[in-house]
Structure 1
Amino acid sequence: MSFAKAQDLLRLALMASSRHGGISLAEIRAEFDVSHRTAQRMTDALEATFANVEITDGADRRRRWRLLDPAIARLEPRQETTIEALEIATISARDDNRLRHARALEEMRDRLMARLPARDALRAEADAEAVLASLGHVARPGPRAAQRPEVMDAVIEALRGPFRLEISYGAQNSKQRIVEPHGVLLGLRSYLVARQPARGPELLNFRMDRIQTANCLDESFAFEDGFSIDTYAAKAFGAYQDPAQYGEVVWRFSPAAAERAAGFQFHPNQSAEHQPDGSLIVRFHAAGWLEMAWFLYQWGDAVVVLEPAGLRQLTEGYRRSDFDALP
């Protein structure tokens, strides 16, 4: 067995020991980026190497492999990459004002470092610092709306329940309102997605920077049936949602811009079609014409809006030809 295969087998054994329900072929394929047949060979090797492998067939008809009482769990693989990942995740959490998550990540990093021998800990810390020093942060253009860390903490606590949230929104000393949080859309301007029972059953977007105070209540509620924050977010191009604007969006990028545009994912559910003249047509369904217009402006006259008519009218007079470069 090659060293690479031995490392993969060790990694698979650690996964099979650390996951309470075991690991399936689909999870192995995704984790190791291998074919179904290779995943089967890996489970064969796991069974052949370890005597304490338990195999179960779940209610979802998926077979899972698990190591029982594994001594392998006491092995300590090198942790440089894990420490780097925790450091990067901590920075990201602090940038988003998710201070509770940042503290939890720091504590996890500290516990991991405490378990390492002093020499390995110093080496891992030095390697992590070197990597972080080499990763530049490119800020998105434009201002970023500030938000209060204590508000984000209260929102996260409410989402964990889920519990209702009492917020004051808008002007200082505004009237308190009770909302039922379903998720948060993070971005240059972040939004709390919540239902306000006093206003009806529909989901609303509340700008996080306009929430003055937030208090998690000891009152549970039920999420909207079938709600998914990813599905909800995909209804908009950016963060703002206007149901009246939702529909098919069609953009045509010029032949000169087609290759550059093909390298972008403008929307999670987009489709792209190369045309005989070398242009590129991109289609997706979403709302948020103003945010689309802001984005399209930077493409100058290299893009034309075919649909919807409202977005075409919004952008037609602002397609410049004097930009030096494409995004």
Structure 2
Amino acid sequence: MSYAKAADLLRVAEMAMSRFDGIALQDLTEEFGCDHRTAQRMMRSFETVFPQVDIREDGDRRRRWHLPRHDPRWLQAQGIRDSELAALELAIKRAERDGAPDEAKRLQVLRDRLLAAMPSSLARRAEADAEALLEAQGFASRPGPRVVSDLSLLGALTEALRAPFTVEISYTSADGRTSDRLLEPYGLLLGIRRYLVARPVAGDGKMRRFRLDRIAEARITGKSFARDPAFDLGQFASQAFGSFHSDAEYGPVAWRFSPEAASVARQFVFHPSQEMLDESDGSLIVRFEASGHLEMAWHLYQWGNDVEVLAPKALRDMVAGHRRADFPALP
């Protein structure tokens, strides 16, 4: 057996041990980028190497493979690789940078627990190699302006979201008025501006966005509430181009990138629902549905006159006087 195939089988074993309901062939095709028949051959080899595997069918009559987790020596034998430790360190740094202290703390605890399970010599070598790898990569830091986060506020909101508990906030609206609001928190939207997604307890039942920089204080009430199981934060967030959403602005959006900018534009995911269409002249049309014309205009400005707004008209009029041809580079 080649080294690559052996490494693949070890990865399959990790997956089969770490997932409570085991793994199916579809998990392998996604993990290794292989077809269904290759996944079948891989699992036949896996059954030979790991005869203790438990095989059963799920509710959809798909075969699932599961390995028992009772042997802690497996983790020690596998160890933790320098690239994996470096990825975990990067995740910690990104969480700290993006104003998610609760997430950063838990990732740090996970990192320490993994290293504690390793022999000291292996742990020291992994830490040293991971540090060298981080230095070689230059730490993938995101440059540019960002809003400074209130860590105590984020901590309180994270705790309320986890429980979940209702939370009372002191909020200053766009017109400058400050009031106390009792909310059922559902999630956070992290972008240039950060928003709390919540449903007011006394209201029309609709979800609202509350800018974190306008929340002076957040107090956890200790009273729990039942989350709406039909609410999907990702779908809710996709109504906006960035963080801001407006029902009045929501609708079809279409941009045409010039032939010179098309290859660069193809590398971007402007919106989760985007569709791209190549034109015969080499230009590229991007379509999606969202709101937030001002945030779109901020982004479009970076493309100079290499992008044209086809729709909506309100956005086209907003950027009309700001397209320029003297930018020396594309985003």
Q: TM-score range by the shorter chain?
A: over 0.9
- The alpha-carbon deviation at position 175 of structure 1 amounts to 3.5
Structure 1 counterpart of 2:115? 113
- C-alpha distance in 2 between matches for 1:277 and 1:68: 58
- C-alpha distance in 2 between matches for 1:52 and 1:147: 50
Q: Any stretches of 5+ residues in structure 1 without a counterpart?
A: none
The reply to whether residue 176 of structure 1 matches residue 180 of structure 2 is yes
Structure 2 counterpart of 1:231? 235
Question: Contact 1:193 / 1:204 at 8 angstroms: preserved in 2?
Answer: yes
- C-alpha distance in 1 between matches for 2:206 and 2:185: 12
Question: Contact 2:76 / 2:117 at 8 angstroms: preserved in 1?
Answer: no
Structure 1 counterpart of 2:47? 47
Amino acid at match of 1:166: E
Question: Contact 1:17 / 1:70 at 8 angstroms: preserved in 2?
Answer: no
Pairwise CA RMSD:
2.0
Amino acid at match of 1:21: D
SS, match of residue 243 in structure 1: coil
State the TM-score, normalizing by the size of structure 1: 0.93
Amino acid at match of 2:62: R
SS, match of residue 202 in structure 2: helix
- C-alpha distance in 1 between matches for 2:212 and 2:59: 41
Farther-moved stretch of structure 1 (23-32 vs 241-250): 23-32
2:205 to 201, 212, 234: 201
Structure 2 counterpart of 1:29? 29
**Cα distance change on mapping 1:26 and 1:149 into 2, 3 Å:** same
- The alpha-carbon deviation at position 304 of structure 1 amounts to 1.0
- The alpha-carbon deviation at position 174 of structure 1 amounts to 4.4
Farther-moved stretch of structure 1 (101-110 vs 237-246): 101-110
SS, match of residue 291 in structure 1: helix
- C-alpha distance in 2 between matches for 1:26 and 1:165: 41
Amino acid at match of 2:201: P
Farther-moved stretch of structure 1 (63-72 vs 250-259): 63-72
Question: Contact 2:76 / 2:118 at 8 angstroms: preserved in 1?
Answer: no
SS, match of residue 159 in structure 1: helix
State the TM-score, normalizing by the size of structure 2: 0.92
Question: Contact 2:196 / 2:210 at 8 angstroms: preserved in 1?
Answer: yes
Structure 1 counterpart of 2:160? 158
Structure 1 counterpart of 2:65? 65
2:290 to 280, 286, 289: 286
- C-alpha distance in 2 between matches for 1:200 and 1:270: 31
Amino acid at match of 1:168: S
Q: Map 1:1-327 onto structure 2 (within 5 A).
A: 1-68=1-68, 71=71, 73-79=74-80, 80-136=82-138, 137-141=140-144, 143-170=145-172, 174-327=178-331
Farther-moved stretch of structure 1 (170-179 vs 212-221): 170-179
Question: Contact 1:18 / 1:73 at 8 angstroms: preserved in 2?
Answer: no
- C-alpha distance in 2 between matches for 1:61 and 1:282: 40
- The alpha-carbon deviation at position 44 of structure 1 amounts to 1.3
Question: Contact 1:158 / 1:164 at 8 angstroms: preserved in 2?
Answer: yes
**Cα distance change on mapping 1:55 and 1:244 into 2, 3 Å:** same
The number of equivalent residue pairs is 326
Name the % identity.
47
Q: Any stretches of 5+ residues in structure 2 without a counterpart?
A: none
- The alpha-carbon deviation at position 201 of structure 1 amounts to 1.0
**Cα distance change on mapping 1:130 and 1:272 into 2, 3 Å:** same
- The alpha-carbon deviation at position 108 of structure 1 amounts to 1.6
Amino acid at match of 1:105: L
Question: Contact 1:167 / 1:176 at 8 angstroms: preserved in 2?
Answer: yes
- The alpha-carbon deviation at position 238 of structure 1 amounts to 0.6
- C-alpha distance in 2 between matches for 1:101 and 1:322: 42
Amino acid at match of 1:43: M
Question: Contact 1:52 / 1:70 at 8 angstroms: preserved in 2?
Answer: no
Question: Contact 1:237 / 1:291 at 8 angstroms: preserved in 2?
Answer: yes
Question: Contact 1:22 / 1:66 at 8 angstroms: preserved in 2?
Answer: yes
Question: Contact 1:246 / 1:286 at 8 angstroms: preserved in 2?
Answer: yes
